[in-house]
Structure 1
Amino acid sequence: MNTTEHIWIKVIQQLNNNEKPDQQLMAKLSTEERELIQALEDDKMLNSASNFIQKMNENDAWNEVKPKLPIKTVRFLPQLLRYAAILLLPILLLGGGIFYYIKSNQPVELSLAKLEPTDHNRATLVLSDGRSVELSKNENQKLSEIAGTSITNKNKELLSYQQDGNANATEQIFNKLIIPRGAEYKLALADGTVVMINSASVLRFPVNINATNSRNVYLEQGEAYFKVAKNPNKPFIVHANGMDVRVLGTTFNVNTYTKTIRTTLVEGRVEAQNANNQKVILSPNEQAIFNQQTNALTKADVDVAPFVAWANGKIIYEESTLDEVMQTLSLWYDYDVEFKSDKIKAIHFSGEIERYKDIKTILNIIEQTGGVKFSIKNRRIYVDQR
């Protein structure tokens, strides 16, 4: 390679020699060249890059690299990125990394993307006095004792409330559990009820849940799966944005992600009611459907598996649109999604996915079966038709 033709390479060599780069050369660098050099500096790759430059022949190197690049990338690769691909491929392959590490303004194809794993065990507890506790920082720790009830965080996955004695308070004292996007948390209430709370959800609940004649919790947003401890004398009521679900002891799921709120009954018996006092009684494998826009409350027979699969570590799609699929993945893995056209949203997809798999694995499956392709930049997934 004739390095006199490539100012950015001279600058790399000067930096590697601990020399202050010539300011006249620096002034001639393009924005893309500056980004490439900065990337090499940040990742301490200047020495490897400089050594490789001394040894390489551009045409021979490009012919070696070209078959390893995706067809589309080869066809449209700008001149600078061509040199950058030649330069970085051997270095990053030796380091076991992803070879396409150019800081481009374009999304990187799925096969080349390096994705950070999502930490699913995250939640914020808001106490009755307004204090906030980040549960991911308080593993296996007793947090507080309120109204005769102790609060313990176990293994960064279960927030447990245990009544230690007789609660003297006659008024319920509330805490709030906030689950960010891409996470989940389990809650054990003092009456023995267990709640699995899904991503991007907020649940407000009483610390001293047995202090009054009814047990009231408020699903302010998101989704939760309830296994309610039986107590015929104290009904358990979930208030969910205009629909109240009343039970004595049962297992069910409440989803408020959209304007259509759904309560899906797994076992037992529940009564759902809206603000107009319209009621429906659910038996297992039935669902109460509340339309917030029309205030209509109806029920339907359903296969409960897709609606509660998330609480069992799975995601099940049955003739779901790709838009619905990507909304679910966006919430669970904390990625934004952008479709290249609305037409793609209507593509249907069916399948069963392990909920804790890496998102790249799941996107690969969808690419192979759904006739679409994905590219990624930062924490945004771009969806296009194959």
Structure 2
Amino acid sequence: MSQHSNKKFDKNSVTDLEKELLKKSIFTSIKKLKAKKRLKYFTTSAAAVIVMALGVGLYLKLQSKTSEISNFVKSTDVKSIENTNNVKLIIANDKNVKIDGENTSISYSKTGSKVNIGNSQTLTQDTNNQNTTKYNTLVVPFGKRSSLTLADGSKVWLNSGSKFVYPVNFSKESNRVVYLVEGEAAFDVAHNPKKPFIMMTENQEIEVLGTVFNVSNYSDDTNNFVVLKSGSVQVSYPEKHNSILNQKKKIIIKPGQMANINKATKLVTAKRVNTDHYFSWKDGVLILDNSNLNYITKKLSRYYNIAITIDDEQLKKQTFSGHLDLKDAVEKVIETIIEAGTAENLNYKITNNNLILTNKTH
């Protein structure tokens, strides 16, 4: 029978070589454990970075398109283009085309290479350069209106005193981005869920998929507004005191609502409105609901391209409700307001293309 030793373990009996091997074994185990933890952390972090990169990529792609058209508007100084007596279309190579008529219509082929003006004129332009987006500009002076069919089939109606910039076509990979530099426009956007339609002004971005809405962006108005008739619209606008990363606030409006932005304070409010009042100008009708004379004359001045002056402060506050047929002469429209009885002290005279409204009692 063998006998077992009862001696205690003597650490001094372990050789230096054995100590070194034991030390290496312990350190190897620790390294493997740390490597596993690092791999798990790296995998999680990498996934987060990939998701973030995709989001940033999409954001930068959109920003690239909106910045591109904004840069075009600034570099060509569209806002300073002088109004003439005719609608002006500026196509490739800065070619200016004057279009006669109070209500003009323009339509583009799918490639944007052919431009039909009314039923009698067709223009061609080069759209082969794939590296840069080509833009056209439509300038509608006061006293004129124009309708436009874009290359994607979207329809735009431009009111008097409007300046509008848009791509000659919409490339496969990009969003559809247009820019209302000045004035008022109504849109009926062709539905395309893969390519949102973005309508820009200096103070806001309006993103839609397929919808009907109206935008007002006159420089002499204190407010810009968007009125939605159908579909869905997201309105983005800059915060007054926050320029970091060009951050913007967003508001979504529903059919029958107006988003109103104060250009000075950047305050945005939303309310329900009668949308017919904001689209009737397309048909040559101005619908008013307890509107004051100061507001009415500003609308008429743009539509008829005539200066209108109210020489009495009390008259400016008088209100009118009803329909004004803008196909009538401006004198007839003023007489309609007088005959309605709500502005019974109103009188007018025309001097050197200036219509002056006076108070009969003075």
1:377 aligns with 2:351: yes
Equivalence for 1:99 = none
CA distance in 2, matches of 1:162, 1:236: 25
SS, match of residue 182 in structure 1: coil
What amino acid is aligned across from residue 383 of structure 1 in structure 2?
L
Structure of larger gyration radius: 2
- 1:203-214 to structure 2, matched below 5 A, reads 203-214=164-175
| Paired residues for 1:218-237 under 5 Å | 218-237=179-198
Going from structure 1 to structure 2, the CA distance change for 1:181 and 1:267 (only over 3 Å counts) comes to same
AA partner of residue 131 (structure 1): K
Give 1:124's aligned amino acid: K
Which residue is 1:40 aligned to? Answer: none
Aligned to 1:282: 253
Task: Choose the corresponding residue for 2:306, options 335, 338, 342.
Answer: 335
Q: Which amino acid aligns with 1:379?
A: N
Identity across the alignment (%): 28
- Secondary structure, aligned partner of 2:300: helix
The question of 1:136 aligning with 2:97 is answered no
* Distance in 2 separating the partners of 1:318 and 1:140: 29
Measured at CA, do residues 170 and 234 of structure 1 come closer, stay the same or move farther in structure 2, by a change above 3 Å? farther
Residues 206 and 320 of structure 1: CA distance in aligned 2, closer, same or farther (over 3 Å): same
Q: For each residue in 1:354-383, what CA deviation from the matched residue of structure 2 results, as whole angstroms up to 9, or x when unmatched?
A: 221222211111122222011111211010
The match for 1:239 is 200
Q: Is the 8 A contact 1:326 1:337 kept in 2?
A: yes
In structure 2, what is the Cα distance between the partners aligned to 1:349 and 1:375? 20
Residue 227 of structure 2 is matched in structure 1 by 264
TM-aligned CA deviation for residue 167 of structure 1: 6.1
Q: What is the letter of the counterpart of residue 146 of structure 2?
A: Y
Give SS of 1:300's match. strand
Secondary structure class of the residue paired with 2:314: helix
How far the C-alpha of 1:312 sits from its partner, in A, is 2.8
- Is the aligned partner of 1:326 residue 2:287? no
Alignment of 1:108-257 (within 5 A): 122-136=86-100, 149-155=113-119, 169-257=130-218
Distance 2:335 2:322 in 1: 13
In the alignment, is the contact (CA less than 8 A) between 2:215 and 2:227 conserved in 1? yes
Matched-pair contact (CA < 8 Å) for 1:163–1:190:
no
1:194 to 1:145, Cα distance in 2 relative to 1, 3 A: closer
Amino acid at match of 2:309: E
Q: Cα offset for 1:384? A: 0.8
Distance 1:195 1:233 in 2: 21
Instruction: Give how far 1:239 is off.
Output: 0.5
Shift of 1:127: 1.8
What is the DSSP-based 3-state SS (H/G/I as helix, E as strand, rest coil) of the residue aligned with 1:124?
A: strand
SS in 2 for 1:230: coil
Give the letter aligned to residue 225 of structure 1.
A
1:18 corresponds to which residue? none
Q: CA RMSD in A?
A: 3.1
Q: Identify unmatched segments of 5+ residues in structure 1.
A: 1-120
| Residue 168 of structure 1, CA deviation | 6.2
CA contact under 8 A between 1:123 and 1:135: conserved in structure 2? yes
2:274 is paired with a residue whose SS is coil
Distance 1:382 1:233, change over 3 A: same
Residues 214, 167 of structure 1: CA spacing in aligned structure 2 closer, same or farther, 3 A cutoff?
farther
Whole-Å separation in 1 of the counterparts to 2:158 and 2:96: 18
1:34-89 deviation per Cα after TM superposition (whole angstroms, max 9, x unaligned):
xxxxxxxxxxxxxxxxxxxxxxxxxxxxxxxxxxxxxxxxxxxxxxxxxxxxxxxx
* Distance verdict in 2 for CA 1:217–1:140, change over 3 Å: closer
Report how far residue 134 of structure 1 moved. Answer: 0.2
How many residues are paired up? 263
Structure 2: gaps (5+ residues): 1-84, 240-247
**1: CA distance between counterparts of 2:223 and 2:106?**
38
What is the CA distance between 1:140 and its match in structure 2? 11
In structure 2, distance between residues paired with 1:230 and 1:143: 18
Instruction: Tell me the alpha carbon deviations over residues 88-138 of structure 1, each in whole angstroms, 9 at most, x when there is no partner.
Output: xxxxxxxxxxxxxxxxxxxxxxxxxxxxxxxxx94101123222110118x
Contact 1:193 1:227 in 2 (8 A): yes
Sort the Cα spacing of 1:324 and 1:248 in 2 relative to 1 into closer, same or farther, 3 A: same
Q: Give the drift of 1:162.
A: 10
Matched, 1:305 2:266: no
Aligned-partner Cα distance in 2 for 1:323–1:147:
45
